[in-house]
C-alpha cells in the first residue's frame, strides 16, 4: 500500500499515528460487535442462523479483544510485536469465519451475507494495520 494512500486513509502523515488510528477503529467496531453479540445473542442467532451460545461466547471474546486493542491504541507507541499479534488474530478470524461458513454453519440469508462481510472488514483492518506498522519501520 502506498504511503499516500495510507496517509489519506489514516488522515495523518505520521505512521505511528496511523497505526494507533487503525487499532482504535478496529477496537470500536469489534467492541460494538461483541457487545451486540452479548446483549442480543438470541435474536441475532435467529437472524443469522447461528447458535445463540456460540454468539454469546464470541461476544465475550470480541469484547475482551476490543478492550485489549483499545488499550494498545492508547499507547503513544504501540509495540510492534503486539500490533503484529492483533494483525495475526484478525487474519485468523477472517480465515476461520470463511471456514466456518463453508464447513459447518447453516446460516440464514442474513448470516450468509453477514459472515463474509464481517470477515472482509476484519481482513481490511489487518491489512491497514500491517501496512501502517510497516511504514513505521521505514
Question: Please, which residues have CB within 8 angstroms of residue 121's CB and are 6 or more apart in sequence?
Answer: 29
Instruction: Quote the DSSP letter at residue 11.
Output: T
**How much is the pLDDT for 17?**
86
**How much is the pLDDT for 14?**
67
Determine the Cα–Cα distance for residues 19 and 134; give it in Å rounded to an integer: 9
Predicted TM-score (pTM) of this structure: 0.88
User: Model confidence at 2, in pLDDT bands (50, 70, 90)?
Assistant: low
Q: What angle do CA 51, 61, 16 make, to 5 degrees?
A: 140
Question: 3-class DSSP state for residue 121?
Answer: helix
- Find out whether 132 and 19 touch, Cβ atoms under 8 Å: yes
Q: Chain-centre distance of CA 128, in angstroms?
A: 11
pLDDT mean across residues, the chain: 91
- Find out whether 127 and 95 touch, Cβ atoms under 8 Å: no
Which of 61, 43, 62, 39 shows the shortest CA–CA distance to 51? 43
CA trace torsion 24, 26, 30, 31 (10° rounding): 0
Of all residues in the chain, the percent with pLDDT exceeding 90 is 83
Amino acid at each position: 500500500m502506498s504511503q499516500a494512500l495510507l496517509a489519506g486513509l489514516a488522515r495523518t502523515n505520521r505512521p505511528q499515528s496511523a497505526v494507533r488510528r487503525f487499532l482504535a477503529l478496529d477496537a470500536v467496531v469489534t467492541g460494538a460487535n461483541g457487545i451486540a453479540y452479548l446483549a442480543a445473542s438470541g435474536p441475532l442467532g435467529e437472524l443469522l442462523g447461528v447458535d445463540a451460545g456460540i454468539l454469546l461466547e464470541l461476544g465475550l471474546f470480541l469484547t475482551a479483544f476490543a478492550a485489549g486493542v483499545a488499550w494498545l491504541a492508547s499507547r503513544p507507541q504501540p509495540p510492534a510485536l503486539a500490533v503484529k499479534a492483533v494483525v495475526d488474530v484478525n487474519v485468523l478470524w477472517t480465515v476461520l469465519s470463511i471456514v466456518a461458513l463453508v464447513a459447518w454453519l447453516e446460516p440464514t440469508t442474513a448470516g450468509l451475507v453477514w459472515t463474509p462481510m464481517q470477515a472482509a472488514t476484519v481482513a481490511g483492518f489487518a491489512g491497514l494495520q500491517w501496512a501502517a506498522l510497516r511504514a513505521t519501520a521505514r
